[in-house]
C-alpha cells in the first residue's frame, strides 16, 4: 500500500472512532460564508438518576426542566451538582444557528440546590423518579429522557464526546458511501463499497469532502444535497442520513469558536430506471472522485455502521 492510501485509511479509521481531523479547506461552499455563533445553543443533561431543576425565568416560572446551558458549568449553576458527561446522546438542530447537544452524564459530587439558594438561574433542584407528579416546563424533554434510559440499558452507538477542534462555521465532513448490489450478503460474495472523495488541490492527501451549511431549516441534510447536485447534477440520487460519527466543536468562548464540524455518515442510492447499480453514479467534473474501499476490515466496519445504524442520531425540530 502506498503512503497516500495508507494516510486515507488511517483518517477514515479516525473518523469511524468518533475522533476528529483538522478542518482546513471547504469543498462545497455557498456564495457568502460568515462565521456562525450558536446564539441559541444549549446542552441538556440526563444522569443515572434524573436531575431536574425548577425554573426561575418569568415565562416558565415554577416549572421543571432538565438542566440546560453550556456543559458542566450550567449544571453546577442550576442544580449545584458536579457532573461528568458520559456521551453525547443526540443532536437536535433547527438550522445552523440553533443546535442542541443532549448529553448523558453522571453525578460527581455537590449537593442539590435548595429553595434557600434560589437565584436567577433556578429555584431549586431535585431527583425525579418519573412517577411522582411534576409540572414540566414543556413535554419536549420526555423523548430525551426515554432516549437516555434506553441508552443506559442497551447502548446503540459507541460513547462519543465532542472533539476540541475549533471551526468558525457550521459544516459537515461527508462520509458519503455507495454500496453495490452485486454482492450477495447471504453467500460468500462481499458487497463493494465506494466513498466520495474530494479532489481539492489544496488538500495534500485524498480526503472526505467538507460542505459548509447555510441558513436553512434543516441544515444537516441540505449541505450533502447541495454537494451531490454539484458533482452529480444529472443523476437521480436518494441520500439517506445514517447519523453522526463525530462532532468537532470548541465552545469555551461563546460567539468566538462556536462553529461545528459534524462528521456525517450517509448512504447514496441511485434511483434512475435501468441505472447500473453495481457501480456508483457517474461524476460530472473533476472536483470529486469515487474511491473503492478494498481493505476488507475497513469495508466491513463501514457497512456494519450503516446496516446497524450505530451512529449518533439527529433530531430535526
Task: Encode pLDDT of 115-136 as tens digits.
Answer: 999 999 999 999 998 889 999 9
Rounded Cα gap, residues 116 and 196, in angstroms: 58
- 61-65, 105-109, 251-255, range with the lowest pLDDT: 251-255
Residues in contact with 300: Cβ distance below 8 Å, sequence separation at least 6, in sequence order: none
Nearest to 53 by CA among 131, 117, 106: 117
Rounded Cα gap, residues 151 and 142, in angstroms: 14
Backbone angles phi, psi at 153, to 5 degrees: -75, -40
The DSSP call for residue 95 is S
**Model confidence at 80, in pLDDT bands (50, 70, 90)?**
very high
Nearest to 104 by CA among 66, 55, 64, 60: 66
**Model confidence at 317, in pLDDT bands (50, 70, 90)?**
confident
What integer pLDDT is reported at residue 72 of this predicted model? 65
Any idea what the Cα angle at residue 157 is, between residues 100 and 269, rounded to 5°? 85
Mean of the pLDDT values across residues 45-67?
A: 87
Nearest to 301 by CA among 39, 12, 6, 8: 12
What integer pLDDT is reported at residue 52 of this predicted model? 93
- Kind of pairing between the strands at 99-110 and 42-46: parallel
- CATH 3.90.79.10 placement within the chain: 41-153
Mean of the pLDDT values across residues 62-84?
A: 84
Mean of the pLDDT values across residues 199-205?
A: 69
What integer pLDDT is reported at residue 97 of this predicted model? 65
**Can you list the positions of beta strands (E) in the chain?**
42-46, 50-54, 64-65, 68-69, 81-93, 99-110, 124-128, 170-179, 193-198, 210-212, 237-249, 260-270, 288-292, 314-316
Cell numbers representing residue 92 in the block: 437536535
- 68-72, 180-184, 205-209, 313-317, range with the lowest pLDDT: 180-184
**Model confidence at 285, in pLDDT bands (50, 70, 90)?**
confident
0.85 cut: is pTM over it? yes
Mean of the pLDDT values across residues 234-256?
A: 81
Instruction: Write down the CATH number for the domain with range 3-37+161-316.
Output: 3.90.79
**Model confidence at 186, in pLDDT bands (50, 70, 90)?**
very low
Cell numbers representing residue 226 in the block: 447541495
Q: Which residue has the higher pLDDT, 193 or 75?
A: 193
Alpha helices in 135-282, H assignment, sequence order: 141-153, 219-231
For residue 261, pLDDT over 50 is answered with yes
Alpha helices in 58-140, H assignment, sequence order: 71-79
Half-sphere exposure in the Cβ direction for 289 (13 Å, CA): 10
Ranked by mean pLDDT, the top range of 74-78, 92-96, 262-266 is: 262-266
For residue 289, pLDDT over 90 is answered with yes
Instruction: Write down the CATH number for the domain with range 41-153.
Output: 3.90.79.10
For residue 100, pLDDT over 70 is answered with yes
Q: How many other C-beta atoms lie within 10 A of the C-beta of residue 292?
A: 13
What integer pLDDT is reported at residue 188 of this predicted model? 47
Q: Please say whether the beta carbons of 219 and 32 come within 8 A.
A: no
Amino acid at each position: 500500500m502506498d503512503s497516500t492510501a495508507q494516510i486515507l485509511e488511517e483518517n477514515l479509521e479516525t473518523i469511524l472512532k468518533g475522533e476528529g481531523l483538522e478542518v482546513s479547506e471547504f469543498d462545497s461552499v455557498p456564495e457568502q460564508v460568515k462565521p456562525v455563533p450558536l446564539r441559541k445553543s444549549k446542552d441538556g443533561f440526563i444522569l443515572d438518576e434524573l436531575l431536574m431543576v425548577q425554573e426561575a425565568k418569568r415565562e416558565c416560572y415554577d416549572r421543571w426542566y432538565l438542566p440546560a446551558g453550556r456543559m458542566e458549568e450550567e449544571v453546577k449553576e442550576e442544580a449545584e451538582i458536579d457532573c461528568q458527561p458520559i456521551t453525547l446522546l443526540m443532536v437536535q438542530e433547527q438550522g445552523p444557528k440553533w443546535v442542541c447537544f443532549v448529553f448523558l452524564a453522571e453525578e460527581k459530587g455537590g449537593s442539590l440546590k435548595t429553595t434557600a439558594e434560589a437565584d436567577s438561574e433556578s429555584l431549586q433542584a431535585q431527583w425525579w423518579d418519573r412517577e411522582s407528579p411534576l409540572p414540566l416546563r414543556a413535554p419536549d424533554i420526555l423523548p430525551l429522557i426515554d432516549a437516555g434510559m434506553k441508552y443506559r440499558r442497551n447502548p446503540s452507538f459507541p460513547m462519543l464526546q465532542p472533539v476540541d477542534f475549533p471551526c468558525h462555521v457550521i459544516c459537515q465532513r461527508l462520509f458519503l458511501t455507495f454500496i453495490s448490489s452485486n454482492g450477495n450478503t447471504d453467500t460468500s460474495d462481499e458487497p463493494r463499497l465506494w466513498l466520495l472523495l474530494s479532489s481539492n488541490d489544496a488538500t495534500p492527501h485524498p480526503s472526505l469532502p467538507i460542505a459548509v451549511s447555510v441558513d436553512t431549516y434543516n441544515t444537516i441534510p441540505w449541505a450533502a444535497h447541495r454537494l451531490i447536485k454539484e458533482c452529480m447534477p444529472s443523476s437521480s440520487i436518494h441520500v439517506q442520513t445514517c447519523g453522526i460519527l463525530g462532532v468537532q466543536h470548541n465552545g469555551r468562548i461563546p460567539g468566538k469558536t462556536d462553529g461545528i464540524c459534524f462528521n456525517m455518515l450517509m448512504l447514496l442510492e441511485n434511483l434512475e430506471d435501468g441505472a447500473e447499480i453495481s457501480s456508483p453514479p457517474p461524476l460530472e467534473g473533476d472536483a470529486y472522485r469515487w474511491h473503492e474501499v478494498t481493505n476488507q476490515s475497513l469495508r466491513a466496519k463501514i457497512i456494519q455502521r450503516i446496516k446497524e445504524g450505530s451512529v449518533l442520531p439527529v433530531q430535526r425540530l
